[in-house]
Structure 1
């Protein structure tokens, strides 16, 4: 193989390798975006199913405005992801157009070279010419070199033919991919237009609801105050039960009863706590199916964005009849019963405590040992709005934790 030909082969191999790496990178990105788009579309479907009850059970205007706010946020993210997919396809289409042009030029060159080889081969086609070429050698070494040259010449001719076939097939496949990609992009653009139109309708509905709320601010303020009072009662009860559990546990362990902020762990409890901590970000959901309707921490008011609210846990909307389930193995340390409210369960995992509130029926009692996915009780369904919501909290000793950082994709 000549030096020039060797360099050309190396260049072709390097270009092919880089093309494969780029293609795999784009494929992975495309799969990731498609998975994200499917998840967001499912979340919108779940919001429609779980947060928007039938007209006879529409609930308060506040329920509707919060649900619309949630759906608009998800739909905006869906449009963003669809745009990313469309842009990725545009890059792939442009790359394919460039590759097709490059391949066409390479095919022209290959065919011209192959035609020249065929012509030269035809001119020297007789077996007698080849034999004379060998027999006219001055010595054995020269004859051997001439034989090697003839073999390389034959191999090169065959390789040229194979390259033409391969590049022709590659060109055909690229043209097919280009057609498919353009169709896929057209479909994404159509879906995006549909999503934007739907979002505009939802924004219009939201504005109409905002107008109706602002016409009667006193009723809205009263509803918000009631929600805050209920949240405070739940938070106070949770913290009171945790401190009581710490005191009782530490007393049994021989620690002074004044130590009310931190569990003194046995070796067995330390193992459970370490395992729980090691699963941060991978813990199961406290329901089998559902969506997060309210996150942890400070958030803006749906009607008056200048007003801030704070949530010490998360709220998960689910189906009527759904059950709350333990997120990890542990011990039931308390049953919540908030005056004027529903029931709840606290489960201790070493020095971590998970709380499941808004249950209408309990399946466990204080002292029970549970495993991950053990059903703790049935979640209450509000008959006035048809919504089934679990309020879920997570603590380390007496410190509030953000469940979204601990539960997988919450």
Structure 2
């Protein structure tokens, strides 16, 4: 906790607020034809989770400011004590100088010297004394300025802390409202729990069938590339020098690939995971499920070639783009702007993402393979 600076916490708080805005915009403003308590609860849980992270971050940031305030207050107290000593010494110096001038002038002090050397030393002494007094006066000015600046910083810090505390109270009040809504949804789900469980199983089977089809397309493409090279070795793509260079470039960009949508929110992670709302159910996701705006387009995350187009149930489509020995898949499209064999570049529009008229959501399923091995897309795209 303490390894994070206040600047890092502030940046994290801003990102979480942006994520809450995306959650509200992409999950809660969609025009739904039917109410689905299970979907609504999943969305609400995601909003609550992000808001809880925001509250925790605000709390850490407020504590960091408190530590800064305490540190600055100690520094002000220390400087104030030093300033008092400086002022006291300076006052005594001025008083002694005044008394000295009242008894004899500087000229008489010099003329009373018994030798030239003594007169010279007395001149040096008087100059040094005057310079020291001037320096003391300047130090008082500098110290006073430091305290003034620290006091201003302190006021700003206290103001920032008060603002954060108010924001935290607002977030906590909102989360209580969300939790009350959650209780109502849980009650509704319990009445139709078996129906929801059956629907989840059907969707999981459909995703498994699609995944198997994509795996076959990749395996066939690997076999074809090897056949063209006159070999039966099918452990991986037989790549041309150009394709090897593309794959190497793709690998170098791991963690910094652009998102396949302009504005997106991950609503389901990659891999095997517990169902977000129903206990005892495990779901497997072959890619990232990314919610985006209605009428949004899917975009290629890197230069490549359209390997294949898969037509799914209901007329929905999936586009596979090959980047050397890497394959990215863009699933749940309704209109396509590319064809098999097309060369594409980073950011090129591939197709329009399907919007579910029942849920009102626009979801892109983004998957990534190296040869036939599935990869976690979250490790490859930019962190948000």
Normalised-by-shorter TM-score class: over 0.9
Contact kept? 1:134, 1:146, Cα under 8 Å = no
Contact kept? 1:342, 1:360, Cα under 8 Å = yes
Give 3-state SS (helix, strand or coil) of 1:364's partner.
coil
- Residue 364 (structure 1) shift: 0.7
- Residue 357 (structure 1) shift: 0.5
Q: 2:270 aligned with 1:303, yes or no?
A: no
> Which of the numbers 266, 270, 273 marks the counterpart of 2:240?
266
Instruction: Map 1:91-106 to 2 at 5 A.
Output: 91-106=67-82
Deviates more, 1:101-110 or 1:119-128: 119-128
Q: 2:127 aligned with 1:151, yes or no?
A: yes
Higher-RCO chain (CA-CA 8 Å, sequence separation at least 6): 2
Give 3-state SS (helix, strand or coil) of 1:381's partner.
coil
RMSD: 2.2
Instruction: Map 1:121-160 to 2 at 5 A.
Output: 121-125=97-101, 128-129=105-106, 132-133=109-110, 136=113, 138=115, 140=117, 146-160=122-136
Give 3-state SS (helix, strand or coil) of 1:390's partner.
strand
* Partner Cα distance (2:270, 2:122) in 1: 82
Give 3-state SS (helix, strand or coil) of 1:357's partner.
strand
Q: 2:371 aligned with 1:394, yes or no?
A: no
1:256-290 Cα deviation digits (max 9, x unpaired): 1x51x411222111111111111111110001111
With the length of structure 1 as denominator, give the TM-score of the two structures: 0.87
Unpaired runs of at least 5, structure 2: none
* Partner Cα distance (1:147, 1:337) in 2: 101
Contact kept? 1:394, 1:402, Cα under 8 Å = yes
Q: 2:18 aligned with 1:65, yes or no?
A: no
1:318-349 Cα deviation digits (max 9, x unpaired): 00111101111111111111234510111111
Contact kept? 1:82, 1:192, Cα under 8 Å = yes
- Residue 148 (structure 1) shift: 4.2
Q: 2:259 aligned with 1:285, yes or no?
A: yes
1:12-31 Cα deviation digits (max 9, x unpaired): xxxxxxxxxxxxx99x9222
* Partner Cα distance (1:272, 1:328) in 2: 9
* Partner Cα distance (1:70, 1:214) in 2: 20
Q: 2:381 aligned with 1:404, yes or no?
A: no
- Residue 58 (structure 1) shift: 5.4
2:197 corresponds to:
221
Residues 143, 401 of structure 1: alpha-carbon distance in 2 compared, 3 angstrom cutoff: farther
> How many pairs does the alignment contain?
382
Residues 122, 354 of structure 1: alpha-carbon distance in 2 compared, 3 angstrom cutoff: same
> Which of the numbers 88, 93, 104 marks the counterpart of 1:117?
93
- Residue 110 (structure 1) shift: 0.6
Instruction: Map 1:9-408 to 2 at 5 A.
Output: 29-54=5-30, 56-57=32-33, 59-125=35-101, 128-129=105-106, 132-133=109-110, 136=113, 138=115, 140=117, 146-256=122-232, 259=234, 261-340=235-314, 342-408=316-382
Residues 209, 341 of structure 1: alpha-carbon distance in 2 compared, 3 angstrom cutoff: farther
- Residue 291 (structure 1) shift: 0.9
Give 3-state SS (helix, strand or coil) of 2:11's partner.
helix
Residues 381, 122 of structure 1: alpha-carbon distance in 2 compared, 3 angstrom cutoff: same
* Partner Cα distance (1:214, 1:341) in 2: 33
Give 3-state SS (helix, strand or coil) of 1:228's partner.
helix
Give 3-state SS (helix, strand or coil) of 2:5's partner.
helix
- Residue 97 (structure 1) shift: 1.9
- Residue 214 (structure 1) shift: 1.5
